[in-house]
């Protein structure tokens, strides 16, 4: 059984050496290229239902997280968490007048819409296997239903920036995906991979291996790995980017507390938002299909464990746990 993780670069925002301290007081041609992309057939809008949650129908079963309204709310809350860790930014990459941006796995499309507002001269394309994006969007945004692990139909050397967030658990062949991203970026173009990591860190010994939370995290990753799924691939990102040919590769991790226990006010705010989405949405979203469909657990067994996890994060939460919003950037040679 894996040991509880401890971060090696724990920090509060602005000081990478300071540990997190608990608070004891509390040019895209749409006409020619669009015909080559996967068409939005009527079957795309048919959904599958399981354990009271709704899942995508296009390439059914490829992604074990739901796509219903509850999950969409969670994705938008996580978008807010990412922005909080970036001091309000949309990405760690410093963009310089991008003209074409691709958002792979766009989800609700909130990132694509906001980056299109920030860069109105850029053409922004968001792709996903679920048609859950809004119809009313800025004029420089376009959404496509597409599986990123199939051959991309976009012209090569066409994007200034490729953004992939929270691909862990859905992408099975990262080297192949990054090779496609490399081919479709312009020389000098950049890619950013970001993850909300599915591991728990603790610096003060308050995270017990006997806890239900530890059992849940450990079982979750065991089931996922046994089916070829990796929900925490961040440690491989830098190597995969270099393998694909990217240069100027950098990594950065920002702490994300689970709860409002830190003294640092910014971390406290992040922790409160993250804990809300974690307890009310993420625990169910990440567990139901994985445990019952892939792990052989009954719905009742799963719900009992999840209830125990929630109870450990109640008003008397003892464990000072945190995870990370983590970023890896690479640049295609050229210019």
Q: Is the pLDDT of residue 7 over 50?
A: no
For 266-284, b/e burial (b = at least 16 CB within 10 A) is: ebbebbebbbebbbebbbb
Q: Is the pLDDT of residue 3 over 60?
A: no
Question: What are the tens digits of pLDDT across the range 244-254?
Answer: 999 999 999 99
Question: What are the tens digits of pLDDT across the range 221-259?
Answer: 999 999 999 999 999 999 999 999 999 999 999 999 999
* Token couple for 192: 């950013």
Question: What are the tens digits of pLDDT across the range 70-88?
Answer: 889 999 999 999 999 999 9
For the entire predicted model, the pTM comes to 0.85
Greater model confidence, 34 or 335: 335
Percent of the chain with pLDDT over 90: 71
Q: Is the pLDDT of residue 1 over 60?
A: no
* Mean pLDDT, range 5-20, rounded to an integer: 42
Question: What are the tens digits of pLDDT across the range 52-69?
Answer: 776 766 555 566 777 888
pLDDT of 25 = 59
What own/partner pairs with CB < 8 Å and gap ≥ 24 does 180-184 have?
180/148, 180/151, 180/152, 181/104, 181/244, 182/244, 182/245, 182/246, 182/332, 183/152, 183/156, 183/157, 184/102, 184/152, 184/154, 184/155, 184/156, 184/157, 184/158, 184/159
């Amino acid at each position: 059984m894996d040991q509880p993780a401890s971060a090696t670069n724990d920090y509060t925002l602005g000081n990478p050496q300071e540990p997190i301290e608990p608070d004891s007081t509390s040019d895209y041609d749409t006409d020619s290229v669009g015909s080559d992309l996967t068409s939005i057939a009527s079957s795309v809008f048919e959904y599958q239902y399981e354990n009271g949650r709704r899942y995508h129908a296009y390439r059914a079963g490829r992604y074990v997280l739901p796509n219903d309204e509850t999950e969409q709310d969670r994705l938008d809350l996580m978008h807010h968490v990412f922005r909080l860790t970036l001091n309000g930014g949309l990405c760690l990459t410093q963009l310089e007048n991008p003209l074409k941006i691709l958002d792979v796995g766009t989800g609700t499309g909130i990132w694509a819409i906001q980056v299109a507002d920030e860069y109105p001269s850029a053409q922004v394309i968001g792709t996903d296997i679920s048609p859950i994006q809004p119809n009313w969007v800025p004029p420089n945004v376009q959404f496509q239903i597409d599986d990123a692990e199939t051959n991309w139909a976009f012209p090569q050397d066409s994007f200034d920036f490729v953004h992939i967030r929270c691909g862990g658990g859905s992408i099975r062949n990262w080297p192949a995906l990054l090779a496609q991203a490399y081919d479709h970026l312009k020389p000098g173009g950049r890619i950013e991979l970001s993850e909300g990591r599915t591991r728990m860190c603790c610096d003060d010994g308050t995270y017990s291996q006997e806890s239900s939370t530890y059992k849940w995290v450990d079982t979750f990753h065991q089931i996922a790995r046994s089916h070829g799924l990796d929900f925490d691939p961040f440690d491989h990102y830098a190597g995969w980017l270099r393998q694909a040919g990217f240069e100027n590769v950098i990594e950065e991790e920002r702490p994300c507390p689970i709860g409002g226990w830190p003294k640092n006010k910014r971390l406290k705010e992040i922790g409160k938002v993250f804990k809300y989405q974690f307890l009310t949405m993420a625990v169910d979203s990440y567990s139901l299909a994985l445990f019952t469909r892939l792990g052989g657990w009954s719905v009742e067994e799963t719900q009992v464990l999840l209830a125990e996890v929630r109870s450990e994060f109640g008003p008397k939460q003892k464990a000072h746990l945190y995870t990370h919003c983590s970023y890896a950037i690479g640049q295609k040679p050229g210019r």
